Amino acid sequence: MAEIISGKVVSAAKREEIKNRVKQLNANGKQVGLAVIIVGNNSASRVYVNNKKKACEEVGINSYEYALPEETTQEELLSLIAQLNKDEKVNGILCQLPLPGHIDEQAVINNIDPSKDVDAFHPFNVGHIMIGDYTFLPCTPAGIMEMLKFYNISVKGKKCVVIGRSNIVGKPMAMLLLKENGTVEICHSRTENLKTETLSADILVAAVGKADFVTADMVKEGAVVIDVGMNRNADGKLCGDVCYAEVEKVASFITPVPGGVGPMTITMLLENTVRAVE
Q: Which residues are tagged catalytic?
A: 52, 96, 119
The C-alpha angle with vertex 54 and arms to 259 and 84, in degrees rounded to 5, equals 120
Nearest-approach distance from CB 49 to ligand GUN, in angstroms: 9
Strand partners, 33: 62
Residue 60 or 141 with smaller CB distance to ligand GUN: 141
Distance CA 135, CA 118 (A): 9
- Residue range at the interface with ligand GUN (CB under 6 A); choices 27-35, 55-63, 89-97, 212-220: 89-97
* Chain residue whose CB lies nearest ligand GUN: 97
Nearest-approach distance from CB 139 to ligand GUN, in angstroms: 5
Does 146 contact ligand GUN by CB under 6 A? no
Distance CA 176, CA 251 (A): 22
According to DSSP, the β-strands at 238-239 and 231-232 are antiparallel
Burial of 237 (0-12, 13-18, 19+ CB in 10 A): exposed
Choosing from 25, 56, 61, 139, the residue that interacts with ligand GUN (CB under 6 A) is 139
Choosing from 117, 119, 197, 241, the residue that interacts with ligand GUN (CB under 6 A) is 119
Does 95 contact ligand GUN by CB under 6 A? yes
Note the residue count of the chain: 278
- Residue range at the interface with ligand GUN (CB under 6 A); choices 13-21, 66-74, 88-96, 156-164: 88-96
CB 192 within 8 A of CB 224: no
Residue 42 or 200 with smaller CB distance to ligand GUN: 42
Residue 232 phi/psi, 5-degree rounding, is -110, 130
Does 56 contact ligand GUN by CB under 6 A? no
Choosing from 68, 97, 199, 216, the residue that interacts with ligand GUN (CB under 6 A) is 97
Could you give the angle at which helices 43-59 and 261-277 cross, rounded to 10 degrees? 50
Residues that bind ligand GUN (CB under 6 A): 94-97, 119, 139-140, 168, 265
